[in-house]
Structure 1
Amino acid sequence: MKILIARMNHETNTFSPVATPLAAFGGNGPAWREDAYRENKGMRTAMSAFIDAAEREGAQIVTPVSASANPSGPVAAAAYDAICAAIVAAAPGCDAVMLDLHGAMVAEQTPDGEGDLLERVRAALPRAPIAVALDLHGNVTQKMIDNADVIVSFKTYPHVDMYETGEHAARLLLARIKGQAHPVLAWRQPPLLTSTLRSSSADGAMRRAIEAARAAEAEGMLAVSVLAGFSLADIPAPCISVVVVGDGDATAAEAVAERIARQIWDERSDFVYRSPPLAESVAHAAQLAREAQGTHGTGKPVLLLDHGDNCMSGGTCDTMDLLEVALAQGLTGMVSGPLCDPEAVAALIEAGVGARVTIGIGNKLTREGAAARAPFMATGVVRAITDGEYVITGPTYTGQRAYMGRAAVLDIGAATLVVTERTHEPWDLGVFESVGVDPRRARFLLLKSRMYCRPVFVPIAAGLVECDSRGVTGSDYGLYRYTRLLRPVFPVDDGFIWRAG
């Protein structure tokens, strides 16, 4: 048996000004062929699980590409074509396909990156079964449903079950090949834009929906996935979905999909996040720090999560609102980063370690329609310069090498700023430790993050405050100009009736 295994991951924020060329996929572009295999073998991605499952079967494996980029603006046409062409070119002669996809890719030439790829793979291999692993924030489309035999998404956010999702999808595909299962797909998509901060698998309506999915699996469905969708994409339906893989009984699968979709719709208000004013959030963080110091005598930092400029939703990581408000309120002992500003990094490197400089940082990229801002003028001492690379210790992307681009540390007295050439999610303490900064010694940690930092940084923190800097990943849909969105859709519209089925 010959199995095609590939990875193409990108969550596209169509409102983000951050470009997505081919070089954005990896340290300097995708990993191809044997390098794609080596990049995933022994890791914790869905592709890693596909490789392990295929090798246990003694299958011949073809791995044309492994391409994963941080969320950003639409994928460049040439990048999308190169990745898809590599996958499709590897298809002839293969008996099965396992694809590690995100599910919310928009390219310059298509609003449905995964659906178009799957359509091409299906055309190349009309009789070969296709299994797909998706991110919990995938935007499911009819093309994806029509051109896959098995679809399974993550059930956790933060995503700590990537490998397990790939293992699940591979198991169902192999069972189909052996005649042990007969997968059929059912899909429902309520017209509901969900806030990413309301898609945590640990809380609220999302947790209850995932519990319903697990219960349906325990009762006989092969797989049930609840995909929160990614609403910061100007496509027809960047909405929540329920995808059910039944075992030969389409009617039963449809009933499960409809039941869970109705549950979600009935709790739709719980999927919407409404941010308090930024100044109020910063004042709350200051109060938490005072209480922690006075009551417990703890030296642990308070986390301020700048979800309005979140790298892993396409943020620029150069919106300086949070730092500016924190300084205006007199906060000290701050560590902030990673802040993305290639020009500032170059200037800091030229100045050298130990130099005292005054430099403009950030506020250089804005969303469409937003007023231009002057850079934040920082005066301080350059403390460190590095290549910006480190190895993630987990639990997300465990063992993978991370690339921040060149990095510099600027000490401005009240705050230590970690400035990088690339946008970067604080996956790991290594974001700071790799540049010689101990995040545990900070009084306040200002992170460009929403959720992924939490498994690592919450255990070392005295408290957490969500802060909305009104960047390109804010939770207020009024910030964005949708032109393709199908209406009505909640919460942009209200008072309409939706009927599943």
Structure 2
Amino acid sequence: MKILIARMNHETNTFSPVATPLAAFGRNGPSYGEDAFNENEGMQTAMAAFIDAAAREHAAIVTPISASANPSGPVQASAYDAISDAIVAAATGCDAVMLDLHGAMVAENSNDGEGDLLERVRAALPNAPIAVALDLHGNVTQKMIDNADVIVSFKTYPHVDMYETGAHAARLIFDLIHGKAKPVIAWRQPPLLAHTLRSATAEGAMKRAVEAARAAEADGMLAVSVLSGFSLADIASPCISVVVVANGERAQAEAVAERIARQIWREREDFVYRSEPLAESVAQAAALAQGADKPVLLLDHGDNCMSGGTCDTMDLLEEALRQKLEGVVSGPLCDPQAVAALMAAGVGSKVTVTIGNKVTSRAVTPKPPVAVTGVVRALTDGEYVISGPTYTGQRAFMGRAAVLDTGTVKLVMTERTHEPWDLGVFESVGIDPRRARFLLLKSRMYCRPVFVPIAAALVECDSRGVTSSDYGLFRFKHMKRPVFPLDTQTEWALTN
């Protein structure tokens, strides 16, 4: 067998002003051919699982591209075409296809990045089985359903089962190839915008939905996925989905999808997150720090790069300073201009720079940068290795990084937006985050497996950035209405 294996990952926030050129996919663009293979082999990606499964089958493996970028604005048309063209061009002569996709890509020339790609792959290989691994936050579309034989998504958020998801999808596609299974797919999509902070799989309605999916798999379904969707995409239906793969029994697949979708719709209020005013959140953090011997985490989920944030919104830091919090470590703040100024000044220099609020969006009211004075404590290349549990062993690139110490706050500034996956974000620039009194992290969820164990408490803070949980900040033009919770009287009649 000759098997095509590729990776195309991007979660698109159509309100984000952060550009997504081809260079954003990887350190300086995607990896191709042998480099794409080597980048994933032994890692915890779905593509790595595909490679391992194909190797066990003694298949010839074709890896045209591995392209993964942090969430940001719409993918530039030339970048989307380059990635898609590389995958489609490699399809000739292949007997099967396994794709590691996100599921929520929007490009300048495609509102359905994954669906349009799958349609092209299917046209190139009309008789080859196609398996797809998706992120839990994928926005499922009809084109995706129509052009894949197997779809499996992550069941964890924070995501720690990327490899397992790929292994699951690969197992099913090889069962199809060897005549052991006949996958059929059913799909339901209630008109429900699930807040990302209500898609954590360890609690609430999302936990119960995933438990129902696992129970259905234990009861005979080949795969059951609950995808919360990514609602900051102004497309027709960035809504929650249930995707069921059954073994030849479409009626069974439809029944399971319907049952779990009904459960989700009944509990729709539990998928809605309502933020407290920022001042109240900071005051709560100050109270929690009294007598604590560990840092209090303040998570700035309104400016979270893993949902397309600019990482330069200053709302939370300004409020922390207004309330006179001390012992603060904050970051990573993306400000290439400030980093360049600190690099030019050198370690030990006392400087005044303006930081943040430099990347503006039509979705939020722009504010001026903030002037700060401090001593440059560290300058680095901004690279470190992630210790896990997410993307364990992968090298992280923040761009050049600098630390400015104002006496009250130690600011970690970087040239690139970056999720605090790991203590290495701070340790790589000489800061021990355990010694902070307050940790202001531009994060929503991925920091939690690493930072919650070293913290006394956690407070969620909603700054007015482009990843805010306040849907009222955003002007949706293309979304089908009515949709809950934008339209509170939304009704949904499930199909058979």
2:309 corresponds in structure 1 to: 315
1:403 equivalent in alignment to 2:400: no
Question: Partners in 2 of 1:395 and 1:369 — Cα distance?
Answer: 33
* Superposed displacement of residue 495, structure 1: 1.7
Do the aligned partners of 1:357 and 1:382 also contact (CA within 8 Å) in 2? yes
Gaps of 5+ in 2: none
The Cα offsets for residues 437-476 of structure 1, whole Å up to 9 and x where unpaired, read as: 1111100000000000000000000000000011000011
2:217 corresponds in structure 1 to: 217
1:96 equivalent in alignment to 2:90: no
Tell me the secondary structure at the aligned position of residue 94 of structure 2: coil
Q: What is the number of equivalent residue pairs in this alignment?
A: 495
Question: Partners in 1 of 2:476 and 2:341 — Cα distance?
Answer: 37
**Following superposition of structure 1 onto structure 2, how do residues 104-119 of structure 1 map, counting pairs within 5 Å?**
104-119=104-119
Paired residue for 2:415, among 410, 415, 421? 421
* Superposed displacement of residue 367, structure 1: 2.3
1:374 corresponds in structure 2 to: 368
2:142 corresponds in structure 1 to: 142
* Superposed displacement of residue 303, structure 1: 0.3
Do the aligned partners of 2:364 and 2:466 also contact (CA within 8 Å) in 1? no
**Following superposition of structure 1 onto structure 2, how do residues 291-310 of structure 1 map, counting pairs within 5 Å?**
291-292=291-292, 298=293, 300-310=294-304
How much is the aligned-residue C-alpha RMSD, in angstroms? Answer: 0.6
Do the aligned partners of 2:385 and 2:393 also contact (CA within 8 Å) in 1? yes
Question: Partners in 2 of 1:222 and 1:372 — Cα distance?
Answer: 49
* Superposed displacement of residue 376, structure 1: 1.2
Do the aligned partners of 1:319 and 1:362 also contact (CA within 8 Å) in 2? yes
1:197 corresponds in structure 2 to: 197
Question: Partners in 2 of 1:14 and 1:93 — Cα distance?
Answer: 36
**Following superposition of structure 1 onto structure 2, how do residues 453-464 of structure 1 map, counting pairs within 5 Å?**
453-464=447-458
**Following superposition of structure 1 onto structure 2, how do residues 170-319 of structure 1 map, counting pairs within 5 Å?**
170-292=170-292, 298=293, 300-319=294-313
- List, as ranges, runs of 4+ consecutive aligned residues in structure 1 with deviation greater than 4 Å: none
1:440 equivalent in alignment to 2:434: yes
1:131 equivalent in alignment to 2:127: no
Do the aligned partners of 1:390 and 1:401 also contact (CA within 8 Å) in 2? yes
1:295 corresponds in structure 2 to: none
Tell me the secondary structure at the aligned position of residue 53 of structure 1: helix
Do the aligned partners of 2:364 and 2:465 also contact (CA within 8 Å) in 1? no
- The residue identity in structure 1 corresponding to 2:72 is S
- The residue identity in structure 1 corresponding to 2:467 is T
1:63 corresponds in structure 2 to: 63
Tell me the secondary structure at the aligned position of residue 172 of structure 1: helix
Indicate how the Cα distance of structure 1 residues 227 and 393 shifts in structure 2: closer, same or farther if over 3 A, else same. same
Paired residue for 2:483, among 475, 484, 489? 489
TM-score (norm 2): 0.99
Question: Partners in 2 of 1:91 and 1:319 — Cα distance?
Answer: 43
Do the aligned partners of 1:366 and 1:471 also contact (CA within 8 Å) in 2? no
Question: Partners in 2 of 1:426 and 1:325 — Cα distance?
Answer: 21
The Cα offsets for residues 156-184 of structure 1, whole Å up to 9 and x where unpaired, read as: 00000000000000000000000001100
Question: Partners in 1 of 2:151 and 2:365 — Cα distance?
Answer: 42
The Cα offsets for residues 12-32 of structure 1, whole Å up to 9 and x where unpaired, read as: 000000000001001110011
**Following superposition of structure 1 onto structure 2, how do residues 307-346 of structure 1 map, counting pairs within 5 Å?**
307-346=301-340
* Superposed displacement of residue 370, structure 1: 2.8
- The residue identity in structure 2 corresponding to 1:161 is D
* Superposed displacement of residue 372, structure 1: 2.2
Question: Partners in 2 of 1:371 and 1:97 — Cα distance?
Answer: 45
Question: Partners in 1 of 2:363 and 2:68 — Cα distance?
Answer: 29
Question: Partners in 2 of 1:137 and 1:437 — Cα distance?
Answer: 33
- The residue identity in structure 1 corresponding to 2:180 is Q
Question: Partners in 1 of 2:74 and 2:342 — Cα distance?
Answer: 30
Indicate how the Cα distance of structure 1 residues 192 and 348 shifts in structure 2: closer, same or farther if over 3 A, else same. same
Tell me the secondary structure at the aligned position of residue 128 of structure 1: coil
Question: Partners in 2 of 1:274 and 1:397 — Cα distance?
Answer: 30
Do the aligned partners of 1:137 and 1:227 also contact (CA within 8 Å) in 2? yes
1:394 corresponds in structure 2 to: 388
**Following superposition of structure 1 onto structure 2, how do residues 359-370 of structure 1 map, counting pairs within 5 Å?**
359-370=353-364
Question: Partners in 1 of 2:284 and 2:360 — Cα distance?
Answer: 27
Do the aligned partners of 2:5 and 2:98 also contact (CA within 8 Å) in 1? yes
Do the aligned partners of 1:366 and 1:472 also contact (CA within 8 Å) in 2? no
* Superposed displacement of residue 291, structure 1: 4.2
Identity among equivalent positions (%) equals 79
Tell me the secondary structure at the aligned position of residue 439 of structure 2: strand
- The residue identity in structure 2 corresponding to 1:63 is T
1:354 equivalent in alignment to 2:373: no
Question: Partners in 1 of 2:107 and 2:332 — Cα distance?
Answer: 26
Question: Partners in 1 of 2:291 and 2:282 — Cα distance?
Answer: 14
Question: Partners in 1 of 2:216 and 2:277 — Cα distance?
Answer: 40
Question: Partners in 1 of 2:167 and 2:360 — Cα distance?
Answer: 40
* Superposed displacement of residue 369, structure 1: 4.5
Question: Partners in 2 of 1:132 and 1:11 — Cα distance?
Answer: 16
* Superposed displacement of residue 10, structure 1: 0.2
The Cα offsets for residues 81-105 of structure 1, whole Å up to 9 and x where unpaired, read as: 1100100000000000000000000
* Superposed displacement of residue 366, structure 1: 2.4
- The residue identity in structure 2 corresponding to 1:136 is L
* Superposed displacement of residue 496, structure 1: 2.9
Question: Partners in 2 of 1:304 and 1:496 — Cα distance?
Answer: 34
- The residue identity in structure 2 corresponding to 1:441 is R
Tell me the secondary structure at the aligned position of residue 17 of structure 2: coil
2:494 corresponds in structure 1 to: 500
* Superposed displacement of residue 328, structure 1: 0.7
1:450 equivalent in alignment to 2:444: yes
- The residue identity in structure 2 corresponding to 1:437 is I
Do the aligned partners of 2:14 and 2:234 also contact (CA within 8 Å) in 1? yes
Do the aligned partners of 1:212 and 1:260 also contact (CA within 8 Å) in 2? yes
1:465 corresponds in structure 2 to: 459
The Cα offsets for residues 56-76 of structure 1, whole Å up to 9 and x where unpaired, read as: 110000000000000000001
Paired residue for 1:431, among 403, 422, 425? 425
Tell me the secondary structure at the aligned position of residue 378 of structure 1: strand
Question: Partners in 2 of 1:378 and 1:163 — Cα distance?
Answer: 43
1:86 corresponds in structure 2 to: 86
- The residue identity in structure 1 corresponding to 2:150 is V
Question: Partners in 2 of 1:257 and 1:291 — Cα distance?
Answer: 49
* Superposed displacement of residue 500, structure 1: 1.3
Tell me the secondary structure at the aligned position of residue 412 of structure 2: strand
Question: Partners in 1 of 2:215 and 2:462 — Cα distance?
Answer: 35
Question: Partners in 1 of 2:312 and 2:115 — Cα distance?
Answer: 32
* Superposed displacement of residue 37, structure 1: 0.3
Tell me the secondary structure at the aligned position of residue 4 of structure 1: strand
Gaps of 5+ in 1: 293-297
Question: Partners in 2 of 1:238 and 1:275 — Cα distance?
Answer: 21
Question: Partners in 2 of 1:178 and 1:488 — Cα distance?
Answer: 45
Do the aligned partners of 1:13 and 1:314 also contact (CA within 8 Å) in 2? yes
